[in-house]
Structure 1
């Protein structure tokens, strides 16, 4: 157990730091644009929600490269990894075309949201600028998926920290103006983001040609056209993965939209609880990515028993750490909320929600780590169905019934925002245990194949 935990931790901590750097990007944007104008801040919030949905859905598809490359790495089929990377870059080209059209022509989405005229112009400008940065984001996702597959997450972490250091001065210059550049507000923030995204993509591709760790892969040794067999294999795994990411994002987004009906104070309390949950989520996410890499490498080397043991230890590690976080949250809850807001009404609204987050986080850790482990086995369709039933059906549907007291028989303490958070917690518990049971069946089948081979 401890040996496996050490291996997982060695890969997980750079991923965690990189993920926290990504969170810091959003915090910096919100804080700086908020100082420029309220309209630009609202446009940033709306535009970000649209962009993130597109970005997560498309990059989720490209994440399929990680388990594929990790299994090939475990099997020491290095030249095939280079071929998969080239195919993934072709796939990124197709996806960036789709994403660019959605972001550059967001009229249907904005009309659906009934955006006021004053907000429409700024949101449109924000999204159209980000459309030009999406190709770079997709290319960098190919790079990050490959480095994680090879067990080299520090190569991503270093670039993400460097990007974070550039973010503040670029934002300051482009949002507020200076050195001959006019103040651009929210669109300036988007311009800073795409500058950084293209820098990351270019540096990432250069590293693929320069570093020794990539030399055996011969990624750019020759040109090749798309190969349908490999493209289809990546899409079969990637599309369900992208959908599962979208289900997670949209379930939370719609929960916020419903909770907004209870007023600004309740929504502010929900935002605090959601932010606490998002920060805590980074740890099990990092453990899941690290465990997935090690499990996929073991599967590629046909060490199926080791893969099962690594999976179990990774899941257990994430849940135990989550339990520690939950206890800390229960004890420090008043201090944490006080750090977010001096408003007593908002603090009172957040207090019961952060209490629920303590339990929510434990189940969140279980589901995300198990989902990543299953992806190492190249299994994604059934987990996506589990997510849809649990997060949309139980989480959103159940939250609506509880939150709005449909039927009039719900206890008061289960209505309002609390109802949505309780239902969401239950949905994560269902998803987590559902994925765990399914993983046990998948891993047993691999062991049975080993047993049959030994008998023969």
Structure 2
């Protein structure tokens, strides 16, 4: 990254950071996409088991990675301020607490899942796929958390193309491993939906290895000598890092967990509705990578400019991010609404599930447009390190507005399961309005 002097230069630098992040994020979520699609072609029961497992797993997984992503604005700020000597220490301390976070994640899963199972009232086979998919995924938690620290280091210095290449390499590996373990190839037994968890967990180890190779061998990262002279754990530094990371992770949890809770509430409508809901939500997650990537890119750029104390440039990047996010989200939504039946057919050959998925996708497209407003605002505020208020606003909009509205519409109107999606849209829209108001307050501090 470098100082820019015009809007044209800012647009070029913005896309230089954004495009690799977008491809990286698309590749990351493709893990869940291929898990779901490939399991769905085994049976609707495998699809439902993996779908419910994903609803439980990914909100906690995503929020944990969100905690680790708090390293990005911190490192980018240090890089912009040219405080290079501190960066190594920050990353090494990040290794310590991210590994501990991974172990806590795994332990919590093994303790809590047995209590959750009776509440879900799943078919026996769906329950079997659900639990064993999660067990398989647990083996990949620690390596992907450690890889997350390295990824944030690479991104914070502006080398987002490298993380893009790393993730792109892992996608075909993940697809191949899914194929082997789901369908039983090359002498392996056919694990069905459980095989998706096995393939993904192995892929996480590959991702860690590739990140390590980059950090050791490629400049400027090798110059930091990250893997030498590890200091003792510094609980003071952990507190500093987690004071930024935890609110970010909690905000992501508020967003992602509400989708998981809605997925669990859908279980009362039967296996076909579960499968259709998850298929629509899964595809929406892919599309959401555009505003999410814009959010991540603007966090890096704003943190860098704040470190250099170029406040006018900060506001210009904020404006660009909001404009591009809304343009892309609206344009893509217009295209997707016309191809929703073809999209539904990607997930299953069951005509009833296809019909339900087609309807769910209409709501998903509306939600995508609102996300185009919401996501860049979050990225801008993270760049300012204004993360606590953002978390409180997420709780208010998703859990005190979105979920209650959805539950009321589902229970006491003719909308049925679609009422939950209307509630999600209401939560996102209220969140966007609140974030806009918060950004106006924060920007006044840097006038």
TM over 0.5: yes
Shift of residue 257, structure 1, vs aligned partner: 3.4
Q: Secondary structure at the match of 1:404?
A: helix
Shift of residue 326, structure 1, vs aligned partner: 3.3
Q: Structure 1 residues 367, 215: closer, same or farther in 2, change over 3 A?
A: same
Q: Structure 1 residues 261, 139: closer, same or farther in 2, change over 3 A?
A: same
1:64 maps to what in 2?
Answer: 70
- 384, 392, 395: which is aligned to 1:388? 395
Alignment of 1:6-85 (within 5 A): 6-36=12-42, 40-85=46-91
2:317 maps to what in 1?
Answer: 310
Q: Secondary structure at the match of 2:288?
A: helix
Shift of residue 171, structure 1, vs aligned partner: 2.5
Q: Secondary structure at the match of 1:446?
A: coil
Q: Structure 1 residues 79, 104: closer, same or farther in 2, change over 3 A?
A: same
Q: Distance in 2 between matches of 1:147 and 1:20?
A: 18
**Range that drifts further, 33-42 or 46-55:** 33-42
| Contact 1:40 1:185 (8 Å CA) reproduced | yes
Q: Structure 1 residues 199, 266: closer, same or farther in 2, change over 3 A?
A: closer
Q: Distance in 1 between matches of 2:341 and 2:200?
A: 35
How far does the alpha carbon of each residue in 1:99-124 deviate from its partner, in whole angstroms, 9 at most, with x for none? Answer: 12123443233344345555555544
Shift of residue 263, structure 1, vs aligned partner: 5.3
Residue segments in structure 1 that go unaligned for 5+ positions in a row: 448-456
Q: Structure 1 residues 324, 46: closer, same or farther in 2, change over 3 A?
A: closer
How far does the alpha carbon of each residue in 1:112-170 deviate from its partner, in whole angstroms, 9 at most, with x for none? Answer: 43455555555443333322211001011111211221111111111111111112332
Structure with bigger gyration radius: 1
Shift of residue 182, structure 1, vs aligned partner: 3.7
2:102 maps to what in 1?
Answer: 96
Q: Secondary structure at the match of 1:309?
A: helix
| Contact 1:5 1:317 (8 Å CA) reproduced | no
1:416 maps to what in 2?
Answer: 416
Q: Secondary structure at the match of 1:416?
A: coil
Q: TM-score, normalised by structure 2?
A: 0.89
Shift of residue 428, structure 1, vs aligned partner: 1.1
- 375, 381, 385: which is aligned to 1:378? 385
1:451 maps to what in 2?
Answer: none
1:439 maps to what in 2?
Answer: 439
| Contact 2:137 2:198 (8 Å CA) reproduced | yes
| Contact 1:9 1:287 (8 Å CA) reproduced | no
| Contact 1:259 1:416 (8 Å CA) reproduced | no
Alignment of 1:10-409 (within 5 A): 10-36=16-42, 40-105=46-111, 106-115=113-122, 118-262=125-269, 270-271=277-278, 273-330=280-337, 349=356, 353-405=360-412
| Contact 1:79 1:218 (8 Å CA) reproduced | no
Q: Distance in 2 between matches of 1:28 and 1:13?
A: 22
Count of residues paired in the alignment? 440
Q: Distance in 1 between matches of 2:347 and 2:186?
A: 35
Q: Distance in 2 between matches of 1:37 and 1:418?
A: 24
Residue segments in structure 2 that go unaligned for 5+ positions in a row: 1-6
Q: Distance in 1 between matches of 2:277 and 2:132?
A: 29
Q: Structure 1 residues 364, 36: closer, same or farther in 2, change over 3 A?
A: closer
| Contact 1:319 1:366 (8 Å CA) reproduced | yes
Q: Distance in 2 between matches of 1:267 and 1:33?
A: 14
